């Protein structure tokens, strides 16, 4: 043995580079977060689409009621009253059977003001039974549209 050469040492061995699988725990958490966000976004979009579809169907039905009774104020008032009672079934089924003033107060409770009890909405009580009664049809239609939009917004807020 040659003492001047000394012992033969081997070079430092580096570990092999890490593989891509399995990923680190942080990547698993990130993947889980992305999947959960995707599920949440899909559910939200689905709910919004259903709400939009329901709103369109209800407003189309209201337009059909209005078109069927156009030109006849008594028929228009009867059709709008029937439509409002059907809408009330969606929210509070017992409200659809309320009589006279209580029915108008229920309708006013879903709007700011008292346009049903003291305004143009009051004709819903009398006009279907008095064919000669004159009232502002456009104002009643606008009031019912506003009530319907408000009821649909409240329904969408509960979902």
Q: Residue 138 sits in which domain range? A: 57-158
Q: Is the dihedral of CA 20, 26, 28, 32 positive or negative?
A: negative
Asked if pLDDT for residue 1 goes beyond 60, the answer is: no
Number of domains forming the structure of the chain:
1
> Does 138 fall in a domain?
yes
pLDDT 10s digits, 38-89: 999 999 999 999 999 999 999 999 999 999 988 888 899 999 999 999 999 9
Tally of residues, the chain: 159
> Does 119 fall in a domain?
yes
Q: Give CA angle at 114 (109, 118), nearest 5°.
A: 135
> Does 123 fall in a domain?
yes
Each as own residue / partner, the long-range contacts of residues 86-92 (CB below 8 Å, 24 or more positions apart, any chain) are 87/58, 87/147, 87/148, 87/151, 90/151, 90/155, 91/151, 91/154, 91/155
Q: Is the dihedral of CA 51, 146, 142, 94 positive or negative?
A: positive
pLDDT 10s digits, 3-15: 566 778 888 889 8
pTM of the model: 0.77
Rounded CA gap, 95 and 22, in Å? 61
> Does 85 fall in a domain?
yes
> pLDDT confidence of 159, banded at 50, 70, 90?
low
> Does 135 fall in a domain?
yes
């Amino acid at each position: 043995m040659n003492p001047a050469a000394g012992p033969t040492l081997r070079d430092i061995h580096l570990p092999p580079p890490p593989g891509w699988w399995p990923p680190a725990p942080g990547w698993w958490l990130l993947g889980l977060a992305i999947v959960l966000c995707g599920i949440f976004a899909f559910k939200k979009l689905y709910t919004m689409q259903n709400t939009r579809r329901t709103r369109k169907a209800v407003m189309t039905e209201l337009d059909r009621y209005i078109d069927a009774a156009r030109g006849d104020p008594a028929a228009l008032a009867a059709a709008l009253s029937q439509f409002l009672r059907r809408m009330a079934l969606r929210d509070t089924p017992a409200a659809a059977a309320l009589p006279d003033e209580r029915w108008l107060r229920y309708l006013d409770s879903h709007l700011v003001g008292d346009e049903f009890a003291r305004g143009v909405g009051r004709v819903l009580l009398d006009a279907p039974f008095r064919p000669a009664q004159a009232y502002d049809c456009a104002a009643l239609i606008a009031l019912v549209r506003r009530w319907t939009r408000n009821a649909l917004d409240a329904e969408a807020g509960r979902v």
